[in-house]
């Protein structure tokens, strides 16, 4: 990665759930270089994902690659749950992973899509939260993302 290359981390969906519904809600977050199509090969680095208020993570993280031109996506795999660390009442998920993009001779693409699963916390207040955060890197400064979600009324 050159000094002129920056990371762009964005949320691809906005999960909506009901407090205590017990359902799994997918979070899809994508990572790409800016400008697009730059090679990014940092090796294994720390990833930290914090849920928005009212949500907690499950022990799942999968990934896929996507390219816009031509449109093509490829599901790759998931990280073994034993390598994932949940903390702060399951609201913070950390793991080490190599988020490579556009690697010459490799079948990766322009966008790396992170697939994360969360559940709505019992008793969580209804409303939209944007206080979640996703970061890549040891100091957590490379790719911040305010993750947004909505919760509806409490199920009784």
How would you write the pLDDT of the chain (156 residues) with one tens digit per residue?
Answer: 444 567 888 888 878 888 878 788 888 888 988 888 899 998 999 999 998 888 999 999 999 999 887 778 888 899 999 999 999 999 999 999 999 999 998 888 899 999 999 998 888 888 888 888 888 887 754 445 567 778 776 443
Structure tokens at 46: 């720390």
Q: How far is CA 149 from the centre of its chain?
A: 13
Q: Are the C-beta atoms of residues 63 and 136 closer than 8 Å to each other?
A: no
Q: What is the pTM of this model?
A: 0.85
């Amino acid at each position: 990665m050159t000094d002129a290359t920056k990371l762009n981390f964005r949320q691809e969906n906005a999960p909506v759930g009901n407090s205590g519904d017990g359902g799994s809600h997918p979070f899809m977050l994508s990572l790409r270089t800016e400008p697009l199509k730059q090679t990014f090969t940092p090796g294994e680095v720390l990833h930290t994902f914090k849920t928005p208020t009212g949500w907690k993570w499950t022990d799942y993280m999968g990934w896929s690659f996507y390219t816009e031109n031509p449109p093509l996506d490829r599901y790759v795999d998931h990280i073994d749950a034993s390598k994932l660390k949940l903390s702060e009442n399951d609201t913070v998920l950390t793991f080490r992973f190599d988020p490579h993009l556009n690697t010459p001779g490799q079948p990766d693409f322009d966008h790396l899509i992170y697939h994360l699963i969360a559940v709505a916390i019992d008793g969580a207040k209804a409303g939209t939260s944007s206080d979640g955060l996703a970061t890549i890197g040891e100091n957590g400064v490379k790719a911040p993302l305010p993750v947004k979600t909505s919760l509806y009324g409490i199920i009784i």
